[in-house]
Amino acid sequence: MDKIIARNIKKLRETARYTQDEIAQALGVTRSAYSNYESGDREVPYDVIEKASDFFGCDMAVLFEENENVDAMILASAFRLDGMTADDAAEIMRFKDIVKSYLKMEAIEAR
């Protein structure tokens, strides 16, 4: 599972054209730790997976997907902000979490 998550967070990062350092800062981890997560050498803690899904604006399930459809979901989640500060990243994560929650509620109501 670590290799699948590693592949997906790397693909999200590269698609959005962020550096490992920028993502590490946004997630509140060191660049070295993030590099190990992305290579699959270290298990990604749940809270980091949750923050990554908020930052990239995708459902956490996307990070666990191993099929071709994940590429389309990743492309739909790509977002780039040049000159992003840690505060900017935190605001982006909060906003995307609100949007994800709203979309989930809409889906539940539609059933």
Q: Is 19 helix (H, G, I), strand (E, B) or coil?
A: coil
- Whether residue 96 is predicted with pLDDT greater than 90 in this model: the reply is no
pLDDT in tens, 9-64: 998 888 888 899 999 998 999 999 999 999 999 999 999 999 998 888 888 888 88
User: Looking at residue 75, what is its pLDDT?
Assistant: 56
pTM over 0.85: no
* Assigned fold of 2-110: 434 Repressor (Amino-terminal Domain) (1.10.260)
Taking alpha carbons only, the member of 50, 55, 45 closest to residue 22 is: 55
Contacts of 10 (CB under 8 A, 6+ apart): 38
User: Looking at residue 2, what is its pLDDT?
Assistant: 83
Instruction: Provide mean pLDDT across the span 66-83.
Output: 60
Tell me the DSSP string of 40-102: TSSPPPHHHHHHHHHHHT--GGGGG--STHHHHHHHHH----TT--HHHHHHHHHHHHHHHHH
- Whether residue 79 is predicted with pLDDT greater than 70 in this model: the reply is no
Q: Which residue has the higher pLDDT, 20 or 88?
A: 20
- Whether residue 71 is predicted with pLDDT greater than 70 in this model: the reply is no
User: Looking at residue 1, what is its pLDDT?
Assistant: 78
